[in-house]
Chains A and B, each alone.
Chain A
Amino acid sequence: AQSVTQLGSHVSVSEGALVLLRCNYSSSVPPYLFWYVQYPNQGLQLLLKYTTGATLVKGINGFEAEFKKSETSFHLTKPSAHMSDAAEYFCAVRGAGGNSKLTFGKGITLSVRP
């Protein structure tokens, strides 16, 4: 079985500040990890993914995430928040091979203060 934990439901930062959204996972097989963003009244859009290889993954809109196997973490960061980053962010895990399902965390709402 696999699971994703996103601690807290809401993060608020000032414009220009560092964004850090935490994600921890559990998986019995080597995982594939994803971050998705959801803007109000829209579907989910892929921000970035980790499959194999380099553990620091760069995504769209200046976001990046680092896969740390020893910590079973895949935290999302952005050096400088922009007002347009306000959205809900979901971390997800999918096991390699087979008919593996995508399991989502509960999501974190990011607010950006002017």
Chain B
Amino acid sequence: NAGVTQTPKFQVLKTGQSMTLQCAQDMNHEYMSWYRQDPGMGLRLIHYSVGAGITDQGEVPNGYNVSRSTTEDFPLRLLSAAPSQTSVYFCASSLTGTGGNQPQHFGDGTRLSIL
């Protein structure tokens, strides 16, 4: 059972470039989310989805887009990369969005540097 898989693990971009961070889960989880982790800031929610076709903004959504066309996949798109988006990005999933007792399962992260 692969769990939550994120690709790529590392990426370097130039300012203004766009890219997509991939996230896939094989646990049939309804709820998926993207976080960014910065030193001293903990994890901050970027976008989340409670099911296929439904997405919503988190705490820091600016500069990022998401879509959820299938239950398994939840890609995160950087539209025009900026140095402030240098961070470690984590994708997570849980069985449902409602019923907050469901723990989230995390991928291993994507380390993104914007030059």
Q: Which residues of B in the span 99-115 have a Cβ within 8 Å of any Cβ on A?
A: 99-101, 103-109
How many chain A residues touch B (Cβ–Cβ < 8 Å)? Answer: 29
Q: Which residues of B in the span 23-78 have a Cβ within 8 Å of any Cβ on A?
A: 33, 35, 40-45, 48, 50, 56, 58
Q: Are A32 and B100 in contact (CB under 8 A)?
A: yes
Measured between alpha carbons, how far is A104 from B58 in the docked complex, in Å?
13
Report the interface size class on chain B. Answer: 20 to 34
Measured between alpha carbons, how far is A46 from B107 in the docked complex, in Å?
12
Q: Does A44 sit at the interface, judged by CB under 8 A?
A: yes
Q: Are A104 and B103 in contact (CB under 8 A)?
A: no
Q: Does A99 sit at the interface, judged by CB under 8 A?
A: yes
Interface 9-residue window, one of A14-22, A69-77, A79-87, A88-96: A88-96
Q: Are A49 and B42 in contact (CB under 8 A)?
A: no
Closest A residue to B107 by CB, please name it.
A43
Q: Are B109 and A49 in contact (CB under 8 A)?
A: no
Q: Are B42 and A99 in contact (CB under 8 A)?
A: no
Q: Are A49 and B106 in contact (CB under 8 A)?
A: no
Q: Are A9 and B100 in contact (CB under 8 A)?
A: no
Measured between alpha carbons, how far is A52 from B99 in the docked complex, in Å?
12
- Other-chain residue from A41, A43, A94 in contact with B100 (beta carbon distance below 8 A): A94
Q: Are A43 and B106 in contact (CB under 8 A)?
A: yes
- Nearest first, the 6 A-B pairs at minimum CB distance are A43-B106, A51-B101, A94-B100, A106-B42, A104-B42, A100-B100
Q: Which residues of B line the A interface, CB within 8 A?
A: 4, 33, 35, 40-45, 48, 50, 56, 58, 90, 92, 97-101, 103-109
In the complex, 9 of the A-B residue pairs with CB atoms within 8 angstroms, ordered by the A residue number, are A43-B109, A44-B90, A96-B100, A99-B48, A101-B48, A102-B45, A104-B42, A104-B43, A107-B42
Beyond the given A31-B100, A32-B101, A49-B103, please list 7 additional residue pairs across the A-B interface where CB-CB is below 8 A: A9-B40, A34-B103, A46-B105, A94-B101, A99-B48, A101-B45, A102-B45
